[in-house]
């Protein structure tokens, strides 16, 4: 039993949770805050849920409007609409709008709750079973040739030289996800290099667990294809967020959380090597998550896919040592973090030029640019992260996070006294 509860009333959420788990101790009750996260994604059908419990209202929101929207989505899970009074105007309107059932809280009847949830779950199971046998499902479960039964293709996001990216709905995760699929290609001389890169990313991400790193839901091999299923970020990346403007506190908070994410991957023996705003995503709760380990290098892996001296990454965000093909360590990623922090605060990159080689030269030789006077409190952090010599930068992601936290605390104290 897996239920999606769309509500912001803590008392009501607690009561429903208690009753559901009293009947089904192993039930998975997922709470969705409509006021914090906004409307459900347009293509979401809640296929991974037995039923959806939808509140009548919440601060600034109208559950009945949501119900009309959800009822128009073919294949959406059964919706149990929660009202004060079943026979009131909202309850009657909910029936007309297409609710599977209406449940009243004014006269809370535990047996009726269990009954309607059981019936809704049975209908969902039957509907999903029929859909899985249909030609529509056969088409929707085709991802560039790979047949993945527990996923429904929504959109082909991108086609690259190595892999295809899809937006899909996962019955297992109960959410929209991003599917990365590549064909398992082999050559006479062994495994194709592009496949090697995919396998390396596969090995890197499967064991990473951190709140500021993309969540990986599934990975595997099927039909001569490899695939990774990862978290989907409806709000987009940090680059998009930066266009809307950021406060100094927001800039530092994002930078601190990224430093902690780097600490986590560095502790696992991984260098990211391509840290940039496009590889930093925003969740609904405004926290950041590090993605894209396609260029990352795990020290522990026996598979070596790059030659010494080759340059991989994005010139605007490369450390001096990375840009010149020299050996790198964790402090190279911290330099990239410094570039991002400067760009978030100043609204422009620290170094720019007409061609990539000129940009790399600036990273190595040009003075560290100064932030506007209003952002002077951040300059010491920028100076530390953008030090030309790796020896002059923080020694770890944790040390960088601590340095940033000190400035955050200082700014918070100044606001209180001011």
- Angle between helix axes 89-97 and 63-71 (nearest 10 degrees) is 20
CA distances from 252 to 249, 278, 370 (A): 5, 18, 16
Please list the active-site residues: 274
Tell the burial category of 98 from Cβ atoms under 10 Å away from its Cβ (0-12, 13-18, 19+): middle
Strand-by-strand arrangement of the 151-159 sheet: 151-159, 164-170, 175-183, 225-231, 216-222
- CATH architecture observed for domain 142-231: 2-Layer Sandwich (3.30)
Specify the pairing of strand 186-187 against strand 28-32: unpaired
Angle ∠(37,38,44) on CA atoms, nearest 5: 95
Q: What pLDDT sits at residue 201?
A: 60
Whether the pTM exceeds 0.95: the reply is no
Neighbours of 96 (CB within 10 A): 11
CATH code at 2-132: 3.40.50.2300
Q: Would you write out the chain's pLDDT as a tens digit for each of its 418 residues?
A: 999 999 999 999 999 999 999 999 999 999 999 998 889 998 999 999 999 999 999 998 999 999 999 999 999 999 999 999 898 899 999 999 999 999 999 889 999 999 999 999 999 999 999 999 999 999 999 999 999 999 999 999 988 777 889 999 999 999 999 998 988 765 554 445 555 666 666 666 667 788 999 888 888 888 788 888 989 998 899 999 999 999 999 999 999 999 999 999 999 888 888 899 999 999 988 999 998 775 555 443 333 333 333 444 578 999 999 988 898 899 999 999 999 999 999 999 999 988 889 999 999 999 999 999 999 999 999 999 999 999 999 999 999 999 999 999 999 988 888 6
Ramachandran quadrant class, 174 (left: phi over 0; alpha: psi -120 to 50; beta: rest): left
Torsions phi, psi for 16 (to 5 deg): -65, -40
CATH topology of domain 238-417: Transferase(Phosphotransferase); domain 1 (1.10.510)
Spell out where 171-251 has E strands.
Answer: 175-183, 186-187, 190-191, 216-222, 225-231
Q: Write down the domain spans for the chain.
A: 2-132, 142-231, 238-417
Q: What pLDDT sits at residue 418?
A: 65
Q: What pLDDT sits at residue 203?
A: 67
């Amino acid at each position: 039993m897996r239920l999606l509860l769309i509500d912001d009333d803590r008392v009501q959420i607690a009561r429903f949770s208690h009753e559901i788990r009293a009947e089904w101790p192993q039930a998975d009750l997922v709470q969705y805050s409509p006021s914090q996260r906004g409307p459900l994604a347009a293509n979401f059908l809640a296929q991974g849920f037995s039923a959806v419990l939808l509140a009548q209202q919440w601060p600034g929101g109208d559950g009945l409007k949501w119900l009309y929207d959800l009822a128009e989505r073919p294949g959406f899970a059964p919706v149990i609409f929660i009202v004060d009074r079943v026979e009131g105007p909202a309850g009657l309107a909910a029936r007309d709008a297409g609710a599977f059932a209406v449940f009243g809280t004014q006269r809370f009847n535990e047996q009726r709750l269990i009954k309607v949830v059981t019936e809704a779950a049975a209908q969902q199971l039957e509907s999903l079973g029929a859909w899985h046998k249909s030609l529509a499902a056969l088409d929707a479960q085709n991802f560039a040739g790979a047949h993945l039964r527990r996923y429904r293709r929504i959109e082909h996001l991108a086609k690259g030289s190595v892999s295809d990216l899809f937006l899909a709905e996962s019955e297992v995760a109960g959410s929209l996800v991003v599917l990365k699929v590549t064909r398992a290609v082999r050559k006479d001389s062994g495994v194709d290099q592009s496949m090697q890169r995919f396998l390396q990313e596969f090995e890197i991400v499967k064991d990473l667990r951190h709140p500021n790193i993309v969540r990986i839901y599934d990975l595997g091999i099927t039909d001569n294809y490899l695939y990774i299923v990862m978290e989907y970020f409806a709000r987009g990346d940090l680059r998009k967020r930066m266009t809307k403007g950021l406060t100094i506190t927001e800039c530092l908070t994002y930078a601190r959380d990224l430093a902690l994410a780097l600490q986590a991957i560095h502790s696992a023996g991984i260098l990211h090597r391509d840290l940039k705003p496009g590889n930093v995503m925003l969740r609904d709760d405004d926290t950041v998550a590090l993605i894209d380990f396609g260029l990352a290098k795990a020290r522990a892996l026996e598979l070596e896919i790059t030659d010494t001296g080759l340059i991989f990454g994005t010139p605007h965000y490369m450390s001096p040592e990375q840009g010149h093909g020299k050996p790198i360590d964790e402090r190279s990623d911290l330099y990239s973090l410094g570039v991002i922090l400067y760009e978030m605060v100043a609204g422009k990159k620290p170094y720019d030029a007409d061609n990539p080689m000129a940009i790399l030269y600036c990273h190595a030789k040009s003075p560290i640019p100064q932030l506007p006077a209003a952002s002077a409190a951040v300059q010491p952090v920028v100076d530390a992260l953008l030090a030309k010599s790796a020896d002059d930068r923080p020694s770890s992601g944790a040390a960088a996070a601590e340095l940033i936290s000190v400035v955050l605390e200082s700014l918070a104290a100044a606001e209180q006294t001011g």
